[in-house]
Amino acid sequence: MTDNPILTLDNVTKSFGPVTVIKGVTVNVYPGKVQVLLGENGAGKSTLIKMMAGVHQPDGGRILVDGEKVRLADTNASEALGIATIHQELNLVGSMTVAENICMGRFPRRFGLVDRRTMRNTAKAALDRIGLHIDVDHKVGELGIARQQLVEIAKALSLEARMLILDEPTAALTKREITALFAVVEDLRSRGVGMVFISHHLDEIAAIGNSVSVLRDGEFVAEVPADTSEDELVRLMVGRSIEQQFPRRRDYDGPADTLLEVNGLSTKGLINDVSFSVKAGEIVGLAGLMGAGRTEVLRAIAGVDPYVNGTVHVRGKELPKSSIGAAIRAGVGHVPEDRKAHGLVLGAPVNENIGYATLAATAKSGLVDRRGQRKRAQDVADKLRIRMQNLDQPVGSLSGGNQQKTVFARWIVTNSSVLLLDEPTRGVDVGAKVEIYELMNAITAAGGAVVMVSSELPEVLGMSDRILVMSGGHISGELAGGDVTQDAVMMLAVRDVQRDLEDKLMEDGHE
Amino acid sequence: MNKVATATAPKKAAGVSPVRKFLADNGALVGLFVLGLALFIATPDFLTGPNLLNIGIQASVIAVLAFGLTFVIVAAGIDLSVGSVAALSAMGSAWIFSQASLPGWLAVVGGLLIGTLSGAVSGFAVAYGRLPSFIATLAMLSVARGLTLVISDGRPIPTAPEVSFLGGDLGVLPMPIVVLVIAGTVAALILNFTVMGRYMYAVGGNTEAARLSGVPVRRVLVTVFALSGLFAALAGLLLSGRLDSAQPQAAAGYELDAIAAVVIGGASLAGGVGRISGTLVGALVLVVIRNGLNLLNVSSFWQQVVIGVVIAVAVGIDSLRRKNAPH
């Protein structure tokens, strides 16, 4: 078609502090077309859609709407131009009705009171446009995720949206629900609505997309038709050599005892029959897409979440289920995915944050060994080169890399021999990243075992001795380190072997 | 934006002089000092020995209640039941002595035990029953007051001499002041020097991070409410000791004074922040204002208005300061 694009990101650039996350990317969204954004986690997709939605403003380049340069100062500005975003986390109030949600923020009024009849009619009209027939007086929270999503789409359309941004809309849906969603997308397309679509499931791209913009490390790689083969898409997504920024060394020459052994681990609906073991001196990488169950495996081993089946042995001894204390005493250290929410008490001093896990073990008759705790904290902070004014500084005022090193320091002080690292370098600058890799080398050189979850494939390939790839809650393959390619990992990660099982589980859960 | 703020934070902190830092960290103390100075100028009756002892006695009950509450607030909870638990403990103690005719020392121990148990029950409801602490202790407020009325049949009961001793004098010093100092010291020691005390700050600062670091969160929660109950019981004994009898309506509404004292003292209701010294200053601010307004013959009706404004202003200044400070 010869239509002009609704929206153009023209050569946009975006930096957060010293980190440039988008480097000169151009994307066009045409009426009646579905533009797919494809890239690994961290490639810059979400930053791009946030620019379209007015959440972030580009540092360089232009945003054009209908060919005219605009400034999207906030989400209201983009909504006013007819651009709506359907986020993964839906913006609905679960305790209110469908009609109220659709008319949120613009309740029709009559004599100063809410005009419920008009509101219901508006809502019904909006739902009709996407062929969704549900009771508008129903509470949104009582609907399934798929229907909530459709309500959100209806709401966006009733706000005269002509461009929809769909951020991983299929992530939480069953196959049947995806089919229903795609029917709606198809219908909107025929009516000239432009759409941006993000998904990690490559098979969906050909099914729904028109054109694919591939991103890698914040740079535009290529724009290809949606019927490009999956192999080619994977190659475009990850195709680069592993640079020598991963200084993996294998200095351990002691006995290769098995430190961690996981057998048949299953949790409710999330992970399914996961087994593996890790030896002293070894780094095992857990690769896979978001939602594949990697974090859940680490949390179950660390005693954070309960598991239904399976066993975890550390140095041959079985750990009791869901006991964090027992796991720590057995030598397990857990560096969680979100250090601010789960790793650190941000308002508390560095000293305290390093010492939480050793507080009780070093105490005498309930009194804290204050001098000892401080000395140990100072020693480990020096060793890890945590850059701070002093130990009494609140940890929240340190940089991301130094915060992460503080979490590591806690487990080094505890002498943990099995370290579970969940995205250990997320939000950390390049210099601190290498320091964290060196730390992992030091841990394994001292005879420790490391399990690392990371969404950055180069990091997994560069640092792991073995790689376990997870897909749909179970381990879909194991690759020996060294000569593994990113393509091989991605092919295992996108293998949707579990999708049918998931469908079944989710249906059971819903009905 | 966030990143920029945190990156420049250390520099900012380095530039602040120690004196300014002390003043900023001890706003309530500065306030108390200014208040004292103003009253000293306004009336000759303020800075006299008897009046100061009087202030100490009046502060003792509120301060001891507030010490216990500080544990709970540091751990990001709230305890609305302290006034009722104080009354129940005092009444239980008096009942043990007067009705059950048991020895006076047993009445003291029994009273303290009743308070601790009441607190522990709230703690269990919060930690294991997953009740919000506001609700659990609101329920305990009603239950404890009701039990007080049941035990006493709505009438005062005489206290044991050992309890009355707590309301008396030790040489020139009134016993309530002695108890206040000892209770404050013990509470400060618990918060600063014991493992449990440090755990309270961790749980209040970030429950999930504390849990993932191996902190036994539920045990910490039961402990803070049990301690709050214990300190409430001590406050109840002080109050009944001064009157030589346990009153069924004693300490009604005191929980609000105690909360005010803790927050004026710089603790955050969001948890993770709070000191016993601050709480003591907070309690003294409340009592000195009341005392001063009495000396100046301001009606007690107006006093309530003034106290309310002081609470709002003190906490308002504090949160503005926090907002501007790094993190």
Instruction: Give the long-range contacts of residues A390-394, CB within 8 A, separation 24 or more.
Output: A391/A349, A391/A350, A391/A351, A392/A349, A392/A350, A392/A351, A393/A349, A393/A350, A393/B10, A393/B13, A394/A346, A394/A347, A394/A348, A394/A349, A394/A350, A394/B326, A394/B327
pLDDT of residue B324: 58
Would you say residue B261 has pLDDT above 90?
yes
Q: What is the CATH number of the domain that holds B163?
A: 1.10.3470
Residues A295 and A443 in one domain: yes
CA–CA–CA angle B281, B284, B290 (5° rounding): 145
Q: Are A389 and B10 in contact (CB under 8 A)?
A: yes
- Average pLDDT of chain A to the nearest whole number: 87
Confidence label for A503 from pLDDT (cuts 50, 70 and 90) = low
A354: Cβ contacts below 8 Å, ≥ 6 apart? A376, A377, A380, A381, A406, A409, A410, A413
Residues A82 and A182 in one domain: yes
pLDDT (tens digit per residue) in A387-413: 888 999 999 888 888 999 999 999 999
Confidence label for A41 from pLDDT (cuts 50, 70 and 90) = low
CA nearest B209 in A: which residue?
Answer: A342
Measured distance CA(B197)–CA(B191) in Å, rounded: 4
User: How many alpha carbons lie under 13 Å from residue B151 in its C-beta half-sphere?
Assistant: 27
pLDDT of residue B13: 41
Confidence label for A492 from pLDDT (cuts 50, 70 and 90) = confident
Q: Does A410 touch chain B (CB under 8 A)?
A: yes
Would you say residue A510 has pLDDT above 70?
no
Residue A253 in domain:
no
Please name the member of B197, B214, B326 whose beta carbon is closest to the beta carbon of A325: B214
CA nearest B195 in A: which residue?
Answer: A368
- By residue range, what is the domain housing residue A43? 7-238
Q: Using the beta-carbon criterion (under 8 Å), do A346 and B327 form an inter-chain contact?
A: yes
Q: Using the beta-carbon criterion (under 8 Å), do B210 and A345 form an inter-chain contact?
A: yes
Residues A503 and A408 in one domain: no
Measured distance CA(B323)–CA(B300) in Å, rounded: 35
Q: How many structural domains is chain B composed of?
A: 1
Residue at a domain's end among A381, A415, A449:
A415
Q: Using the beta-carbon criterion (under 8 Å), do B195 and A367 form an inter-chain contact?
A: yes
Mean pLDDT over residues A486-490, rounded?
83
Count of CB atoms situated within 10 Å of the CB of A80: 13
Tokens read off for A241: 């050599």
Q: Tell me which chain A residues have a C-beta less than 8 angstroms from the C-beta of B205.
A: 345-348
List, as one string, the DSSP characters of B9-47: HHHHHHHS-HHHHHHHHTHHHHHHHHHHHHHHHH-TTSS
Q: Tell me which chain A residues have a C-beta less than 8 angstroms from the C-beta of B210.
A: 345, 356
Measured distance CA(A407)–CA(B115) in Å, rounded: 39
Least confident of A40-49, A145-154, A329-338: A40-49
Q: Does A50 touch chain B (CB under 8 A)?
A: no
User: How many alpha carbons lie under 13 Å from residue A34 in its C-beta half-sphere?
Assistant: 25
Residues A21 and A113 in one domain: yes
Q: Using the beta-carbon criterion (under 8 Å), do A346 and B205 form an inter-chain contact?
A: yes
Measured distance CA(A193)–CA(A34) in Å, rounded: 9
Confidence label for A149 from pLDDT (cuts 50, 70 and 90) = confident
Residue B102 in domain:
yes
Tokens read off for B177: 């002041």
Measured distance CA(B140)–CA(A21) in Å, rounded: 54
Residue B5 in domain:
no
- By residue range, what is the domain housing residue B237? 44-321
Residues A32 and A142 in one domain: yes
Q: Does B212 touch chain A (CB under 8 A)?
A: yes
CA nearest B273 in A: which residue?
Answer: A347
Residues A28 and A174 in one domain: yes
Q: Does B322 touch chain A (CB under 8 A)?
A: no
Q: Helix (H, G, I), strand (E, B), or coil: what is residue A258?
A: strand
Residues A183 and A132 in one domain: yes
Confidence label for A499 from pLDDT (cuts 50, 70 and 90) = low
CA nearest A367 in B: which residue?
Answer: B194
Which of B16, B213, B273 should one mutate to test binding to chain A, selecting the residue with the greatest count of A CBs within 10 A?
B213
Residues A12 and A145 in one domain: yes
Confidence label for A143 from pLDDT (cuts 50, 70 and 90) = confident
Q: Using the beta-carbon criterion (under 8 Å), do A352 and B210 form an inter-chain contact?
A: no
Q: What are phi and psi of A209, to 5 degrees?
A: -85, 165
CA nearest B196 in A: which residue?
Answer: A366
Q: How many helices (H) and strands (E) does chain B have?
A: 15, 4
pLDDT (tens digit per residue) in A219-240: 898 899 998 887 788 778 776 4
Residue B12 in domain:
no
CA nearest B216 in A: which residue?
Answer: A325
Measured distance CA(A283)–CA(A452) in Å, rounded: 7
pLDDT (tens digit per residue) in B13-42: 445 577 777 777 777 888 899 999 999 999
B320 CA to chain A: closest CA distance, Å?
16
Confidence label for B323 from pLDDT (cuts 50, 70 and 90) = low
Mean pLDDT over residues A103-130, rounded?
88
pLDDT (tens digit per residue) in A194-225: 999 988 777 788 888 999 999 888 889 889 99
Q: Using the beta-carbon criterion (under 8 Å), do B195 and A410 form an inter-chain contact?
A: no
Residues A176 and A98 in one domain: yes
pLDDT (tens digit per residue) in A281-340: 999 999 988 778 899 999 999 999 999 999 999 999 999 999 999 999 999 999 999 899
Residue B35 in domain:
no
Would you say residue B8 has pLDDT above 90?
no
Mean pLDDT over residues A65-85, rounded?
89
Distances in Å between the alpha carbon of A152 and those of A155, A181, A506? Answer: 5, 12, 21
Distances in Å between the alpha carbon of B39 and those of A267, B49, B51, B264? Answer: 66, 15, 12, 19
pLDDT (tens digit per residue) in B60-75: 999 999 999 999 999 9
Q: Using the beta-carbon criterion (under 8 Å), do A346 and B206 form an inter-chain contact?
A: yes
Residue A251 in domain:
no
B128, with CB counted inside 10 A (0-12, 13-18, 19+), is exposed
Residue B135 in domain:
yes
Q: Using the beta-carbon criterion (under 8 Å), do B214 and A328 form an inter-chain contact?
A: yes
Residues A471 and A481 in one domain: yes
If we measure between CA atoms, which residue out of B23, B19, B76, B98 comes closest to residue B271? Answer: B76
* Secondary structure letter of residue A67 according to DSSP: T
A274 CA to chain B: closest CA distance, Å?
22
Residue at a domain's end among A415, A443, A463:
A415
Would you say residue B295 has pLDDT above 80?
yes
Size of interface A-B (CB pairs under 8 A): 93
Q: Tell me which chain B residues have a C-beta less than 8 angstroms from the C-beta of A337.
A: none
**Which of the two residues, B315 and B206, has the higher pLDDT score?**
B206
Residues A121 and A208 in one domain: yes
Q: Does B97 touch chain A (CB under 8 A)?
A: no
Measured distance CA(A260)–CA(A421) in Å, rounded: 14
Q: Using the beta-carbon criterion (under 8 Å), do A367 and B4 form an inter-chain contact?
A: no
Q: Does A397 touch chain B (CB under 8 A)?
A: yes
Q: Tell me which chain A residues have a C-beta less than 8 angstroms from the C-beta of B273.
A: 347
Q: Using the beta-carbon criterion (under 8 Å), do A347 and B272 form an inter-chain contact?
A: yes
Q: Using the beta-carbon criterion (under 8 Å), do B209 and A342 form an inter-chain contact?
A: yes
Q: Out of A160-164, A493-497, B131-135, give the one with best mean pLDDT.
A: B131-135
pLDDT of residue A422: 95
Residues A306 and A401 in one domain: no
Residue A107 in domain:
yes
Please name the member of B14, B196, B209 whose beta carbon is closest to the beta carbon of A389: B14
Measured distance CA(A226)–CA(A238) in Å, rounded: 17
Q: Are A443 and A474 in contact (CB under 8 A)?
A: no
Please name the member of B9, B215, B273 whose beta carbon is closest to the beta carbon of A356: B215
Least confident of A109-113, A442-446, B52-56, B227-231: A109-113
Residue A29 in domain:
yes
pLDDT of residue A317: 95
Q: What percent of chain A has pLDDT over 90?
A: 49
Instruction: List, as ranges, residues 36-55 from B with C-beta within 8 Å of A.
Output: none
Please name the member of A16, A17, A336 whose beta carbon is closest to the beta carbon of B212: A336
Residue at a domain's end among A372, A387, A415:
A415
Instruction: List, as ranges, residues 222-281 from B with C-beta within 8 Å of A.
Output: 272-273
Q: How many structural domains is chain A composed of?
A: 3
Instruction: List, as ranges, residues 334-373 from A with C-beta within 8 Å of B.
Output: 334, 336, 341-348, 352, 356-357, 359-360, 363, 366-368, 370
Q: Using the beta-carbon criterion (under 8 Å), do A348 and B202 form an inter-chain contact?
A: yes
What is the distance between the terminal CA atoms of chain B, rounded to a whole angstrom? 13
Q: Using the beta-carbon criterion (under 8 Å), do B326 and A397 form an inter-chain contact?
A: yes
